[in-house]
A and B are shown apart, each in its own frame.
Chain A
Amino acid sequence: MADATKQSIDQLKETAKAIRRLIIQITTEAGSGHPTSSLSAVEVVTALYFGGFLRHSKVNPRDPKRDRFILSKGHAVPVLYSALCQAGYYTFEQIMTLRKLGSPFEGHPNMKQLDTMEASTGSLGQGLSLGVGHALACRLDGFDSHTYVMMGDGEMGEGQVWEALASAEKYRLANLTAIVDQNGYQQTGATKDVLDLKPFAAKFDAFGWHTQVIEGNSMESVVEALTKARAVTDRPTAIISQTKKGFGILPVLEPTGDLNYHGKPLSKELAEKALALLK
């Protein structure tokens, strides 16, 4: 298994910017999708793939000894396609086919289409259970692989997530990390208005998980939290990554009066403004 790529913090920030540009470009080209849900998650995904955390292989993406990243909030898949493009798995032209008929870069991850997708997701609440399965299998096989699962904060309304949290604690899965991209919004509004789960982090704590609450759009905080998570050896770890939906292009979104900006691409005009911001 190849070593993970390890960039410096400054390099990671540049990479994050490049990934943000790709997210805007591919969703605007597609004419649909969830750019803002993708943008909030960029620092975590960038740190995982480029910060020395995720051991993965272009030659054999399904290497049994790899580390895994499961994107449970599947609608944010543009962040994953963009990160993989940035990592050289796919060309810009390939990911620009996002959501088009016949393209393997579907609107939500499809593991039958792409061997880089660890799960087919899109029906929320299911990724953490899959992560528990991966972590159990890796332990049975004696591999030191680590499984990361990213969920949304709105997604935590799904009961299955809490079943999965309990089962991971039962098996003391120290090779499993749940990351909640807590961007504060879900489809119809602010998460605190739709279904407020406060106190949020305390619930993870109560389920027996090692829990950290971090500034998820700060690369320094993300790298520090991922490092700490790997040092925990007796139980599963959670990172509550407090982010902003649409982070990186908020000055472009603010004048639209819609800070959620859920499930719609930027117009060509707004995309140009956003790309200018991300230079």
Chain B
Amino acid sequence: MMAIGEAAGLKLGKATRDAFGAALKDLGNEFPNLVTVDGDVGNSTRTEVFAKAFPTRGFNVGIAESNMVGVAGGLAAAGKIPVVSSFAAFLLCNAFDQIRMSIAYPGMNVKLVGSHAGISIGEDGASQMGIEDVALACSMPGMTVVVPADAMSAKKATRAMLEHVGPVYLRCGRIELPEIYTADSPFEIGKANTVKEGKDVTIIANGLMVGIALDAAAALAKTGVQARVLDMHTIKPLDEEAIVKAATETGRIVVTEEHLMAGGLGSAVATVVARTKPVPMEFVNVGDTYAESGDPLGLLQKYGLTAEAIVAAVKKVRSR
């Protein structure tokens, strides 16, 4: 199997979690109220990069996600900007009610960062894979949900979430991803980036699937199909304008994400399409299943998160 982004001619870069950790440290002086709260996986989520540079501002409360989120809520109520992180699965699933009660409901200025999202974490297996985190985060009123596609956008998203006042969920991944953006590329919460223009179909993707969508677009181009690729890095609030434009101009939409079908990007986009400009849609995602241990690319292959699967979905949606 080819590396992600290889067919599109992209160069492999850092993982989004690495870019996030480095960015956090770089922003430590500019945001004196920034603190981190960890559940003893700071070396995995990369908040330890910040905590080592600013030791009085990093709190590791142990393997106790519920308390971790509550402590962040208290810190925020007292004027701090807490970045609370764990594996996406443990943060959103274990501490869901604490996020609801201590952060979302009172509208606390807490930044939730879930690393190890998706099935591409690989060998650790399904218990460690956050594949329902986006649905859970999006379900909460007032929550902003961001899924960056590469290291550069993860770096920019880190600044953007600190500048944003209110609760944010930032989803990061474990593995290295191709470089899609440069330092000059725009990144604005709630505004999709068109990473490739096209008129025949739009592939709406986020996270790791953006690179794979670009691979699919390269393959489609060889068959004469010009696919537009939208990086919908913000699922909430959703860039409805870009979706309506895509539906209107390309008439077909495929949505792809490294997440369950239920409650993810696909559901969010479909709701907008149904309400505004109904067009045929197809979906490429984890579906309705838990995954398993294995190498990351092998898992993506087995669970259908590939350029080939996107190409097949494009063919199907164009035939409807």
Interface residues of A (CB under 8 A from B): 64, 110-112, 118-123, 125-126, 128-138, 140-141, 159-160, 163-164, 166-167, 170-171
Is B270 interfacial (CB-CB < 8 Å)?
A: no
Let me know if A170 and B77 touch, CB within 8 A.
no
Closest to A149 in B: B74
A160–B100 CA distance with the chains assembled, in angstroms: 15
Residue B64, interface by CB 8 Å: yes
Given A137-B78, A137-B79, A167-B62; A119-B106 close (CB under 8 Å): yes
Chain B at the A interface: SS class: helix
Structural contact, B78 and A133, CB atoms closer than 8 A: yes
With contacts A64-B79, A122-B101, A134-B74 taken as known, whether A111 is within 8 angstroms of B61 at the C-beta atoms is no
**Is residue B70 contacting chain A, with contact meaning CB distance below 8 A?**
yes
Give the residues in chain B near A112, CB-CB below 8 Å.
105-107
Q: Would B62 and A159 count as touching, CB distance under 8 A? A: no
Selected from B75, B77, B82, B98, the residue in CB contact (under 8 A) with A126 is B98
Q: Which residue of B lies closest to A129 (CB)?
A: B70
Q: How far is the CA of A167 from the CA of B107 in the complex (A)?
A: 24
Give 11 pairs: A residue, B residue, CB < 8 Å, sorted on A.
Answer: A112-B106, A120-B106, A125-B66, A126-B70, A133-B73, A137-B75, A137-B79, A160-B98, A163-B62, A166-B67, A167-B62
Interface contact A164-B79, CB-CB below 8 Å? no
Write the nearest CB–CB distance from A75 to chain B, whole angstroms.
Answer: 14
A-B residue pair count with CB separations less than 8 angstroms: 110
B residues neighboring A (CB under 8 Å) = 35, 56-57, 59, 61-62, 64, 66-67, 69-80, 82, 97-98, 100-102, 105-107
Residue contact B78 to A134, C-beta cutoff 8 Å: yes
Contacts A126-B98, A159-B66, A167-B67 given; 12 further ones with Cβ under 8 A?
A110-B106, A112-B107, A129-B102, A130-B102, A132-B70, A133-B72, A134-B74, A136-B59, A136-B74, A160-B98, A163-B64, A164-B67
B60 to chain A, nearest CB (A): 9
Nearest chain B residue, comparing its CB with the CB of A134: B74
Contact A134 B69 (CB under 8 A): no
**Does the CB pair B78–A120 fall under 8 Å?**
no
Check if B71 sits within 8 Å of A166, measured CB to CB.
no
Find chain A residues with CB under 8 A from B76 CB.
133
Q: A120-B105, A123-B97 are in contact. Are A137 and B64 (CB under 8 A)?
A: no
Query: Do A166 and B79 contact each other (CB < 8 Å), given the known contacts A120-B105, A136-B74?
Result: no
Report the nearest A residue to B105, measured CB to CB.
A120
- Complex Cα distance, B306 from A33, in Å, reads 55
Q: Given contacts A140-B80, A160-B70, is CB(A167)–CB(B64) below 8 Å?
A: yes
Q: In the complex, A171→B39 CA distance in Å?
A: 15
Q: A144 to chain B: closest CB distance in Å? A: 14
Given contacts A119-B106, A140-B80, A160-B98, contact A130 B61 (CB under 8 A): no
